[in-house]
């Protein structure tokens, strides 16, 4: 029964990869990659039970954390073009108060 | 007796989770728009993950394994809506419009105003 669930998760991952390849926009690809990461967490858990070694769940937990942070960082980069921008800033090229983007350091000559 | 009931419940939960995963995957491939595809991905993130991890919890019993599965499920249930909202917000603010039900006739009527 674990094998059936694993096969279903693998089929889902394959279809998500297909959407990531043929996705017409960037956001379709990001959606597919996010879905692929979530299904990776599930298949690590199921494979741990399938092989009789549920110690893999630590890896699944870490992978869930990394997947979320990665997707959020990717979306922030594609929305603002800059990972060092603050939450209250616009998407313009304004220099944030706390962090200095690389363009401002180039302007000051450093 | 109780073991058999728990085993049957966990099998049913795993099979139901697999069904929802396949439904969501077919929806991600087949639906026409980013926002509808996000809905299909949300099905796999909620029903699929909940049913499959619930089935694994029933197999695990009251052990540390079940505690880890609960942590994974709680984390997925918190992060999946956040990631979906960030994706939809980014796509919307970048100018990606959803395909509405009224849109194609309106656009066609605007385009065919000269012909009509």
pLDDT tens, residue by residue, B1-48: 888 999 999 999 999 999 999 999 999 998 888 999 999 999 999 999
Is residue A36 within 8 angstroms of chain B, CB to CB? no
Which letter does DSSP use for residue A56 in this model? G
pLDDT band per the 50, 70, 90 thresholds, residue A34? very high
Closest CA in chain B for residue A63: B72
The pLDDT of residue A87: 66
Which value does ipTM take for this structure? Answer: 0.81
Q: Is the pLDDT of residue A106 over 50?
A: no
Backbone angles phi, psi at B86, to 5 degrees: -65, -40
pLDDT tens, residue by residue, B39-78: 999 999 999 999 999 999 998 888 898 999 999 999 999 9
Do the chains contact at B14 and A25, CB–CB below 8 Å?
Answer: no
Is residue B86 within 8 angstroms of chain A, CB to CB? yes
The pLDDT of residue A91: 52
- CA of B38 to nearest chain A CA: how many angstroms apart? 7
| pTM (predicted TM-score) | 0.78
- Name the residue ranges covered by the structural domains of chain B: 2-111
pLDDT tens, residue by residue, A82-105: 777 776 665 555 444 444 444 444
Closest CA in chain A for residue B46: A38
Residue B8: which region, alpha, beta or left (left: phi > 0; alpha: psi -120 to 50)?
A: alpha
Do the chains contact at B26 and A15, CB–CB below 8 Å?
Answer: yes
């Amino acid at each position: 029964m674990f094998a059936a669930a694993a096969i279903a998760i693998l089929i889902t991952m394959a279809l998500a990869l297909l959407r990531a390849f043929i996705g017409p926009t960037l956001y379709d690809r990001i959606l597919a990659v996010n879905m692929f990461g979530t299904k990776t967490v599930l298949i690590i858990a199921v494979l741990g039970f399938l092989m009789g070694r549920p110690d893999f769940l630590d890896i699944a937990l870490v992978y869930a954390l990394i997947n979320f942070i990665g997707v959020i960082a990717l979306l922030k980069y594609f929305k603002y073009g800059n990972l060092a921008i603050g939450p209250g800033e616009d998407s313009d090229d304004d220099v944030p108060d706390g962090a200095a983007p690389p363009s401002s350091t180039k302007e000051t000559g450093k | 007796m109780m073991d058999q009931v728990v085993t049957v419940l966990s099998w049913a939960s795993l099979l139901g989770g697999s069904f929802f995963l396949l439904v969501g995957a077919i929806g991600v491939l087949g639906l026409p728009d980013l926002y509808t595809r996000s809905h299909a991905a949300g099905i796999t993130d909620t029903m699929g993950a909940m049913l499959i991890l619930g089935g694994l919890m029933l197999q695990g019993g009251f052990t540390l394994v079940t505690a880890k599965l609960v942590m994974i499920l709680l984390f997925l249930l918190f992060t999946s809506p956040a990631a979906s909202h960030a994706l939809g917000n980014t796509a919307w603010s970048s100018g990606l419009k959803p395909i509405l039900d009224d849109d194609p006739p309106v656009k066609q009527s605007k385009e065919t105003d000269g012909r009509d």
